[in-house]
Structure 1
């Protein structure tokens, strides 16, 4: 049976799996998003806390890299953006595809099931998600796997640094969960999912045990710290962040160029680089290597989805607050910081050893349509009696696939062990051809 027929078979079997929807109003996603429980913590908020911290750091140390700035702003234990708030949804700063409709998660689950079936459904099975947000995507995927009775000898592993988000993920995914009192333990939280499989939380991917893996990273790499380089008449210089004393306003920051070559300039920048602006995430490169090593040594399939480019992007560092783009250097810690993912670097890492095959990047529109999202939408619409439900469904579908929305900007890349090449040659990877 060809790969496409397998996918359609899975979609047909999924036809009696109902779409549970909760509707609300938001201008951001066509007046429809999903509703979630959130954790409310009593934390004294000082919007200038990180500004003061960064100001003092730069005053003592001198200008810092954009990567260091991002790490402080996003990951500071006290009031880092990801460490102290729930930033998703209508009341947050941005919305992701899984928040719009569970069809997105269903389709990714169908894709994983399809590719997993081709190689005989190896067990035990580890499902890993990097940066799982509210746990929405993992929940949707596990639900579909449960529907197909594919969770025997399976476990879910979440890589998450935020205590707030891990609380929310536990509420979404688990019947019960608890924190590990041993601060030195690799697993800092563990629980049992609503389908009875073990769920574990880690700070780093390298802490997750080896084993056959289905790995998913959705809008994860765009938030990892980047180093910025700018081409000048004297060659490339790293972009740094310094205190701006040009105005009387307190805690104002500005971009400056390093006077001398920085260590990361020497390590990260390619000798044949020609772009005027270059952004490279050293943390991302390390995790790409870890993913490739895991797939090569223990087997598995990885799927990465993010907004990005294939080695052509330039100046993409930006911030979002309340669904609006803002200045990344103003009130650090109150807005999300992000930069486009360079998918060409994933291929570079994989090609170093020839142990991993890379597919894509494919536009989200093309990927979802190739794996049959329109068939799923049509089947659901035929079983809906309320016209408003059908309109909502179609609105969600358009938001995911239209090029003016998420269809073109977001892209998918898949990674698989080179040992699967004979199978892939016979049954090509769905979504990329």
Structure 2
């Protein structure tokens, strides 16, 4: 039993089973034993590798898309260049380098990182220098906002409900002897149909976060790009753990494994539209990167001596790698052109 597992077990003995959302938040952000509070989980020496860690091309193309949107909107200055969950700062470093192609954009950018982990804040400062750290997206300034979120929403706590004979029962974490185990709370009524045994997931925090982002974009201008693995109006159990680059039992190593769930992009788009912004149709990551010229960029890098450029291209774009599992969604003001590579969603006609 990990030190955090013992803490969770004591809590359950004292006050009863906890929701998956409570379990995830404790495992990831406990101040002394939380996964993100105590380690650098990225790269070969960690538990997983994100797109920016695979190749500079990902961050460069995201930066170029935001740069074009900035130019399309009249080059507002100053503006906030933001990233929630910025990891080691790799993506932000690549984007900052790429936006220099837009005259004046680099100087006009005020970088803001939304990061809960004190450990990772230190890593980001080492990589990026003095940047502004914020606790939540609600702390973002009321000014033009250009934001990139990569593998941020998948780590937000989820709740799960299972269809039973008399309604929907929330799945909770309890104890069986000394072992953490999943169980069901008493049934509740949910305005949703479902087959017996079906699992329904929700991410309570995600729509509010999107509304905070989209409201700034709708009011002050800007754009946001969101990349994550998931789908559209998904169902089923996607709660998972990664440890040492392999799947793990989510209850086996609290605080020592990354916990995530697939992102449902439909409520994210709906939240952006509610806030007065335009949301795009979701697009496969591979398709978007190709539309932004990643193949030509990889060829140039290879010609310049980057021996891994073509392998990185394959991993980022191929359907059997990250190309289809990962989706991308963009947000922009109603008065602005679309973010490059995206098409506006028609909420009355499109069912992505």
Tell me whether the two structures share a fold, i.e. TM-score over 0.5. Answer: yes
- Distance (whole Å) between structure 2 residues aligned to residue 273 and residue 342 of structure 1: 18
Indicate the residue corresponding to 1:255 in structure 2: 182
Aligned pair 1:54/2:8, yes or no? yes
Give unpaired runs (5+ residues) of structure 2: 344-352
Indicate the residue corresponding to 1:119 in structure 2: 73
DSSP-derived class of the 2:253 partner? coil
Say which of 77, 81, 91 aligns to 2:31.
Answer: 77
Cα displacement string for residues 359-415 of structure 1 (whole angstroms, at most 9, x for unaligned residues)? 12110110101111112122333344xxxx34x110111110111111111110001
Distance change >3 Å, CA 295–CA 274, structure 1 → 2 = farther
- Distance (whole Å) between structure 2 residues aligned to residue 347 and residue 141 of structure 1: 24
Decide whether the 8 Å contact of 1:313 with 1:340 is kept in 2.
Answer: no
Indicate the residue corresponding to 1:412 in structure 2: 328
Indicate the residue corresponding to 1:219 in structure 2: 151
Give unpaired runs (5+ residues) of structure 1: 1-46, 175-190, 192-198
- Distance (whole Å) between structure 1 residues aligned to residue 314 and residue 108 of structure 2: 37
Say which of 218, 221, 246 aligns to 1:299.
Answer: 221
- Distance (whole Å) between structure 2 residues aligned to residue 295 and residue 69 of structure 1: 33
Indicate the residue corresponding to 2:111 in structure 1: 156
Indicate the residue corresponding to 1:430 in structure 2: 340
Distance change >3 Å, CA 370–CA 313, structure 1 → 2 = farther
Cα distance, 1:273 vs structure 2: 4.4
Decide whether the 8 Å contact of 1:122 with 1:212 is kept in 2.
Answer: yes
Distance change >3 Å, CA 48–CA 259, structure 1 → 2 = same
Indicate the residue corresponding to 2:296 in structure 1: 375
- Distance (whole Å) between structure 2 residues aligned to residue 360 and residue 94 of structure 1: 28
Equivalent residues in 2 for 1:368-407 (5 A)? 368-384=289-305, 389-390=306-307, 392-407=308-323
Cα displacement string for residues 185-204 of structure 1 (whole angstroms, at most 9, x for unaligned residues)? xxxxxx2xxxxxxx200111
CA RMSD, Structure 1 to Structure 2 (Å): 1.6
- Distance (whole Å) between structure 2 residues aligned to residue 352 and residue 127 of structure 1: 23
The 4+ residue runs of structure 1 with deviation greater than 4 A are: none
Indicate the residue corresponding to 1:200 in structure 2: 132
- Distance (whole Å) between structure 2 residues aligned to residue 134 and residue 383 of structure 1: 26
Equivalent residues in 2 for 1:101-112 (5 A)? 101-112=55-66
Decide whether the 8 Å contact of 1:223 with 1:338 is kept in 2.
Answer: yes
TM-score scaled by length of structure 2: 0.92
Distance change >3 Å, CA 148–CA 118, structure 1 → 2 = closer
Cα distance, 1:147 vs structure 2: 4.9
Decide whether the 8 Å contact of 2:241 with 2:247 is kept in 1.
Answer: yes
DSSP-derived class of the 2:32 partner? coil
- Distance (whole Å) between structure 2 residues aligned to residue 300 and residue 328 of structure 1: 37
Indicate the residue corresponding to 1:319 in structure 2: 241
Instruction: Indicate the larger mover: 121-130 or 147-156.
Output: 147-156
TM-score scaled by length of structure 1: 0.76
Indicate the residue corresponding to 1:274 in structure 2: 194
Cα displacement string for residues 83-115 of structure 1 (whole angstroms, at most 9, x for unaligned residues)? 111111111100000001111111111111122
